[in-house]
Amino acid sequence: MPFSQQSIDFLFENRLHDSKQWFNEHKEDYNTLVKEPMSKLVLDLAPTMMKIDKQIICDPRRISRLYRDARMHPDSIFRDHIWYSFGRMKSGYDPRPEFYFCIGAGGMEFGCGYYCARPATMEAARKLILSGDDSFKKAFLAVQKQKSFELYGEPYKRNRYPEQPPEIGNWLNRRSLGLSGELTDPEIMFTDKLTSHIAKEFKKIAPVYEFYLKAEALATNPDELT
């Protein structure tokens, strides 16, 4: 079954109670309303993700946990959302570029980028941008042509590249980088149209993911850019 308004209501109510007892009493609701639709979405998107990058992992066992990390959040037990990150296998905690889909008490969000990119990756990305690399040109055009996503990433307080056009500076003057969009149409969110919609939108911004991959390669081997 697809997600429903009840899926979002459950995540809100569970976070409101923030109780293991309440969750255990309603665990079947969680499985039916949230976990099973998320697992199906991950598997249904797998063919699209494999076409973008054969190394992307689509495994429902990697869906995020609803429980918070008690070491970092000793005053709360549950998140109000879960997500899945479509990316390559990580080495330790090194950040990697990823597509993502998230459902929570506030609705649905999806996109592509980094939670927090390494400084070396961002420096490599800037080198590609400033050199006029084709991977960035394709990524830039892909973003310009679509209307579902906006750039995110903490901006620097001071413009470090005042000589660059504002639309290029918007990429350069960030500590991290990504694209994020929200879903608000119930006819998409809560029907079988969701998978095809996400697949179509991910394909539109695939050049951005490829740009990230090139930046990662350059960060690992700085001499690669000539």
Q: Residue 143 belongs to a domain with what CATH number?
A: 3.30.930.20
Residue owning tokens 């699209």: 48
DSSP code for 222? G
Of 92, 121, 110, which is closest to residue 179 (Cα–Cα)?
Answer: 110
Note the pLDDT of residue 93.
66
Q: Count the domains in the chain.
A: 1
> Which residue range is the domain that position 148 belongs to?
5-224
Tell me the C-alpha distance between 218 and 224, whole Å.
6
Residues 53-103: tens digit of each pLDDT? 999 999 999 999 999 876 766 778 999 999 999 999 876 667 789 999 999
Q: What pTM value is reported for the model? A: 0.93
